[in-house]
Amino acid sequence: MPQIPPNVLWICTDQQRYDTIRALGNRHINTPCIDQLAANGVTFTHAFAQSPVCTPSRAAFMTGRYPRTTKCRQNGQALPPNEKLVSRLFADAGYTCGLAGKLHLATCANGTVESRIDDGYEVFHWSHHPQPDWPENAYTQWLHTQGTSWEELYGGPSTPYIKHGIPEAYNQTTWCAEMAIQFIHEQKHRPWFFSFNCFAPHHPFDPPSEFLTRYNPDDLPLPKSKPNELKTKPTYQQLDSKFAHNDPDGYDMAEMSDRDRREIKAAYYAMVELIDKQVGRMMEALQDTGQLDNTIVIFMSDHGEMLGDHGFYLKGPHFYDEAVRVPLIFSWKDRIQSDLKADCLMELIDIAPTLLEASGIDIPDYIQGQSLMPILLGQAPESQHRKYVFSEYYNAWTHKHSYGSMLRTRDEKVVVYHGTDQGELYDLKNDPDEFENLWNDRSHTEIKMRLLKACFDASVFTMDPAPPRLGPF
């Protein structure tokens, strides 16, 4: 372990797509604090989640193991108690571990509080989402100490798809930052590990009015799509192009106007800007307490958001880059490279071994991720890490009995919907927006078969490496 163990501030948003940072090319969004984080560290421009929905993705990056390995493969499924979170490994190494906001490693629907395994969190401010669906919601309890409630505050103007939400001072994102700042001040004399897990920019799209008014919908581009592109796309996409999540009570795509689509994007960007401001406040706390130089800061999200691209919203059994590619920034002042954009392919399971190695903690053999430290330290090319990335979807949402696997290389992508004859094949070099599905294009049969073999190989190579082999027989 390093002479002075580094602290870890792990900032994880919910459902934030990769192209929502101004420093990385989005000129319509305002993210000065995240931009500064990128300038002071390494940004991985091709970071991919192991699943396009919450629970399996979170279980994967919190263990460094694939969903098929953890057996936590879908929303509503609990991570088995024998799985070890990276927070538990840090706690075992003498760290004080804390969390504010979402965890979502087990079901928490219909008033049921999420069950916990031995996760290592000594300080635990649990709030799955802002709504007061559980008395145990720490955010709800905090609002009561402020003399107010979610019901009282959540009354702003609304349209069918967006809402003026809770003001900044009382917003769940702000509360998560408040809990993090309090923790930073209280734990400054011993090594610590803190998970900031806000619910934003997850739908509903409900930023504070003061942030929403900063974005003029008319200035924003419409979602990207191509006429008739859905004709060659899988059934799941065709269904979600009518109603998000295939839910008639949700987003009726036929009823949405171009103005609606732009307003949703404005609200989503406003929610990201609120996150950005709280990132700045946490960085100020590190600076003010003299801990910035010895704190590893990570900024990321669990999966993406379609945001109208290709004709649908939210998430589901979809493997477009908008759904599985996320922002990822590492910052560690004067210890790793700065202002570097690493374009290598990497997976979110690579975060756990990276943090363990950076902190001098042994990486267990059962972890499947690959440490990024050689790139962070400038000891390996920033363009080389993985030959492909692998993502999975298992029956996780409204599309029951949908089982999908994605393998993506630098220039190609294949998606297999198991048990059907449907799939997707994209030439990313010539079609980076994934408009043209070549799955049934006979001129691409050879490429398709090569990628299908690679996808099958990946499904084998991602099997659980535990328990260790102890003998020849």
pLDDT tens for residues 145-168?
999 999 999 999 999 999 999 999
Dist. CA 345–CA 364, nearest whole Å: 23
Vertex 335: Cα angle to 334 and 340 (nearest 5): 80
Q: Which element (helix H / strand E) includes 115?
A: none
Of 125-139, 282-296, 390-404, the least confident:
390-404
DSSP state, 227?
T
As a whole number, the mean pLDDT across the chain is 96
Greater pLDDT, 212 or 401: 212
Decide if pLDDT at 92 tops 80.
Answer: yes
CA atoms within 13 A on the CB side of 36: 11
Q: Which residue's structure tokens are 């734990």?
A: 187
In terms of DSSP H, where are the helices of 289-424? 321-324, 351-358, 373-376
pLDDT tens for residues 407-438?
999 999 999 999 999 999 999 999 999 999 99
Q: Which CATH class is domain 7-387?
A: alpha beta
pLDDT tens for residues 25-35?
999 999 999 99
Burial grade of 398 (CB within 10 A; 0-12, 13-18, 19 or more):
middle
Q: Give the pLDDT band of residue 1 (cuts 50, 70, 90).
A: very low
pLDDT tens for residues 297-330?
999 999 999 999 999 999 989 999 999 999 999 9
Q: Which element (helix H / strand E) includes 273?
A: helix 258-288
Q: Which element (helix H / strand E) includes 275?
A: helix 258-288
Amino acid 442: pLDDT: 96
Amino acid 151: pLDDT: 96
Dist. CA 63–CA 79, nearest whole Å: 10
Q: In the predicted model, what is the mean pLDDT of residues 111-125?
A: 95
In the numeric block, which tokens belong to residue 370?
Answer: 């690959």
Give the domain ranges of the chain. Answer: 7-387
Amino acid 60: pLDDT: 98
Burial grade of 251 (CB within 10 A; 0-12, 13-18, 19 or more):
buried
| Amino acid, single-letter form, for residue 369 | G
pLDDT tens for residues 228-243?
999 999 999 999 999 9
CB atoms within 10 A of CB 403: 18
Burial grade of 177 (CB within 10 A; 0-12, 13-18, 19 or more):
buried
CB contact set of 57 (below 8 Å; sequence gap of 6+) = 49, 50, 51, 67, 302, 303, 348
Helix, strand, coil % over all residues of the chain, rounded to 5: 35, 20, 50
Amino acid 398: pLDDT: 75
| Amino acid, single-letter form, for residue 256 | M
Decide if pLDDT at 457 tops 70.
Answer: yes
Q: What is the pTM assigned to this prediction?
A: 0.97
% of the chain exceeding 70 in pLDDT: 99
Q: Are 438 and 444 in contact (CB under 8 A)?
A: yes
Q: Quick one: how many helices (H) and strands (E) in the chain? A: 14, 13
Dist. CA 97–CA 104, nearest whole Å: 17
CB contact set of 68 (below 8 Å; sequence gap of 6+) = 392, 459, 462, 463, 464
Decide if pLDDT at 126 tops 80.
Answer: yes
CB atoms within 10 A of CB 433: 16
DSSP string covering 135-168, please? TT-HHHHHHHHTT--HHHH----B-SSBB-BS-G
